[in-house]
Amino acid sequence: MATVITDQGRQHVDRLARIWEERPGILGWITTTDHKRIGLMYFFTALVMFGAGGTEALLMRTQLIGPNHHLLSPEAYDEMFTMHGITMIFLFVIPMTTGAFGNYLLPLMIGARDMAFPRMNALSYWIYLGSGLLMYIALAQGHAPNAGWFDYVPLASKQFDPGNNIDYYGYGLIFNGISSTAASINFIVTIFKMRAPGMSLNRMPLFCFAFLAVAFALLFALPSLTVAALFLELDRQLGFHFYDVAFGGDPLLWQNLFWIFGHPEVYIIILPAFGIATAIIPTFAHRRMVFFPLVALGEILVAFLGFGVWVHHMFTVGFATITTVYFAAASLIIVIPSGIQLFAWIATILTGTPDFKTPLLFIVGFIVYFMLGGLSGVTLAAIPFDQQVHDSYYVVAHFHFVIFGAAVFPILGGMYFWFPKVTGRLYNERLGKISFWVTFIGTFITFFPMHIVGILGMPRRNYTYAAHLGWTLLNFIESIGAYILATGLLMIVVNLAISLFKGPPAGNDPFEGDTLEWSTTSPPPPYNYPVIPTVSSPYPMWDKDDRELDNRRLARGEGLLELGHETPATTAQDAIWDEILKMPSHSAWPPVTALTLFGVFFMLVMAHYWIAGGFLAACGLSLIGWHYKGVRV
């Protein structure tokens, strides 16, 4: 049940509204530190990036619809598949899950009023935007990265890729990494220190466990990419020899460093999707998650074990058998925590009384594709089989099923699920279901045939193929599937866009959700909750007593924290109330700092080192300004 505001409560609510009022206009958005506004900015930027990455995909599929086509030159095609990978992974999926969903929902789910570091949260967004701009400036100049999203050397070295395409890649990824590292730090501190008093760790929603796992994984995986890219740029721009056999270097060093990042990265991609699924399933199944502790443990184990398997991307490199066998075994072990979660979800739906509304349909689609993609992944742990299909379309099929089918479907379902909360309006259910089916079928038709064409010998990253090889019909089907898929995605966007203006009012809790965000208004007020919520279980909205208690506390004026921008800080494990924190509101320093950093990285790409140094000094000054008044901004 949602918060009821009495007349007495009304004066407190009004006071909070005045204190937390957002600055108006575009300046208000640029200087915002509110996690919800930042989440929305991430959302729309990521959506644009999704469109860009999707366009790149459609161009490629159109090129491949028949043999020997000339829509894209080989150079253009190489830039397309590279930018598609970079965009989808670094500029769409991670920002959408962590930046949009994580930022918007995490404080709401733990009963807080904002993230632990609101200004750094804004900084993460502006840096993300800057890194996206940097990549697309590259494309606009015709110098987009063109050696694949994992950019193997020596192909990506100065000798074989002399323009600055790869420099945009190297520095762009380091720049983007700063955004994600800052976001991870923010998430971890928020989850550990900012939960509502009484929300001990075992009462934290599973969504939050997933994001905790993601944040730790990002924190420890990104340094490997940073080092790899740093070495790459030192080799390319300053003539160092990390990857250069002639001088004692090794191209495999790049592969190892990249995949030590790259494999955890794919679990980072999918774990938030698990989190979204664990939020949607109990709500629509009308029951608690089966085996909650095991699911939480599974989420953390997947993130942890994901650090030990990276060599399975390198089974054909020629390592000793013992090495490959060890990593195959480690890769197989991850199936267990994934399987636990999968069957917990299925069991929850099976034993509940499920309402197959659009969000749940997308989660069912996610379960289907996670199974299919997971099973094809298991086959890839069979080393002799992998050594046949590595770098063929079989692998492309596998990872698109798990990335698109299993990571993006919950994003789409989550968009529908939280649309009423964010906008205050309901989406159109019928169109929602139709959009699901079109997307589901389109995904299948696009990516399933890729398994077959891969086994038939079609390698990845080929800008065209000969007519007599027997790949033509399958490619044709895949391309048609891509158009169907694009249509389904467009239907989702259109549904939500129209519903934004025409949808009926949603109220606080249209789906009888289980987590705290459903107790507050739709959309939530800037201060999230008038009263810091009382929590006794991971399903706070289903604890009617606690919610009634909160209503009484609001009427009595208790637990309001209305002396400024205030929110509680609690202890890490048991959430004992420890301090009342003053939160910053509205600051120009995050976008200014991000701008100076953009200057640093852009100048590094251009090899203007002194100017880059100048921008770095400017960044330092900006950080001084940031801390100048402490929290009183």
Partner 1 sequence: MTEPSSRAHRGLHPPQVTRSSAAFTASAAGRVARQRLAQPNGWWGMALFLCAEVALFGTMISSYFYLDFDAHRWPPAGIPDPSVLWPSIGTAVLVAMSFPMWLAARSAIAGRRGRVLGLVSGAMIVQGCYLGLQIILLIQDLHKFKPQGSAYGSIYYTLLVAHHAHVLFGLLLDLTILVFVSFRGLTNYWLIGVRSLALYWHVVNVIAVFVLVVTLAPSL
Partner 2 sequence: MLLWWWMLGVATIVFLGAMVMLVMAWTKRGVPGLPFLGERENLAEGLVLIFGIAIPLVVLVALFGVSDVYLVGQTSPPNPKTTAMTIDVIGHQWWWEVHYPSTGAVTANEIHIPVDTRVNVVATTADVIHSFWVPALNRKIDMIPGRRNRILLDATKTGEYRGQCSQFCGVQHAHMALEVFVQTPAAFRAWLANMSAPARTPTTPEEQAGKTLFMNSSCASCHTIAGTAAAGTVGPNLTHVASRTTLAAVTIPNTPAEMEAWISNPQAIKPGDRMPDLGLPHSEVVEITDYLESLH
Residue 462, interface with partner 2 (CB under 8 A)? Answer: yes
User: How many residues would you count in the chain?
Assistant: 633
**Stretch of 174-182, 414-422, 458-466, 532-540 lying at the interface with partner 2 (CB under 8 A):** 458-466
Q: From the CB of 602, what's the least distance to partner 2, in Å?
A: 27
Q: What is the DSSP string of 409-429?
A: HHHHHHHHHHHHHHHSB---H
Query: Of 49 and 260, which has the nearer Cβ to partner 2?
Result: 260
The answer to whether 534 and 198 are in contact (CB under 8 A) is: yes
Q: Contacting partner 2 (CB under 8 A), which of 27, 325, 467, 624? A: 325
Q: Between the CA atoms of 265, 270, 276 and 279, what dihedral angle is there, to the nearest 10 degrees? A: -110
- Asked if 630 is part of the footprint of partner 2 (rule: CB under 8 A), the reply reads no
* Interface pick for partner 2 out of 148, 308, 523, 564 (rule CB under 8 A): 148
For partner 2, the closer of residues 364 and 496 by Cβ is: 364
Residue 467 in contact with partner 2, rule: CB under 8 A: no
250 is an interface residue for partner 2 by CB under 8 A = yes
Smallest gap from Cβ 538 to partner 2, in A, equals: 16
> Which of partner 1, partner 2, none does residue 547 bind (CB under 5 to 8 Å by kind)?
none
DSSP characters over 2-22: PPP--HHHHHHHHHHHHHTPP
The amino acid occupying position 337 is: P
For residue 122, which amino acid is it?
Answer: A
From candidates 51, 154, 163, 223, binder to partner 2 by CB under 8 A: 154
Question: Which one, 162 or 504, has the nearer CB to partner 1?
Answer: 162
Q: Which residues contact 394 (CB under 8 A, 6 or more apart)?
A: 376, 380, 450, 451, 454, 455
Question: In whole angstroms, how close is the CB of 589 to partner 1 at the nearest point?
Answer: 15
Contact pattern from residue 286 through residue 315 relative to partner 2, giving x for each residue in contact according to CB under 8 A and a dash for the rest: -x--xx--x---------------------
Closest by Cα among 357, 369, 500 to 436: 357
b/e map 43-66, b = 16+ CB within 10 Å: bebbbebbbbbbebbbbbbebbbe
- Compute the Cα dihedral for 404, 409, 415, 416 and give only its sign: positive
Contact characters 364-383, partner 2, x per CB under 8 A: x--xx--xx--xx-xx-xxx
Partners of 320 in beta bridges: none
Among 14, 21, 48, 160, binds partner 2 (CB under 8 A): 160
Q: Is 543 helix (H, G, I), strand (E, B) or coil?
A: coil
**272 prior amide bond cis, ω within 30:** no
Which lies closer to partner 2 via its Cβ, residue 324 or residue 446?
Answer: 324
Number of amino acids touching partner 2 (CB under 8 A): 76
Which of 280, 531 has the CB closer to partner 1?
Answer: 531
Shortest CA distance to 524 belongs to which of 625, 420, 409, 422? Answer: 422
Residue ranges in contact with partner 1 by CB under 8 A = 116-117, 120, 181, 184-186, 188-189, 192-194, 197-198, 219-220, 222-224, 226-227, 230-231, 234-235, 238-242, 244, 247-250, 253, 256-257, 260, 534, 549, 558-559, 563, 566, 568-572, 576-582, 620, 624, 627, 630-631
Burial of 110 (C-beta count, 10 Å sphere; 0-12/13-18/19+): buried
Report the nearest approach of partner 1 to the CB of residue 557 (Å): 9
Nearest distance from C-beta of residue 451 to partner 2, angstroms: 10
Residue 452 contacts partner 2 per CB under 8 A: no
Nearer to partner 2, 353 or 610 (CB): 353
Maximum Cα–Cα distance across the chain? 79
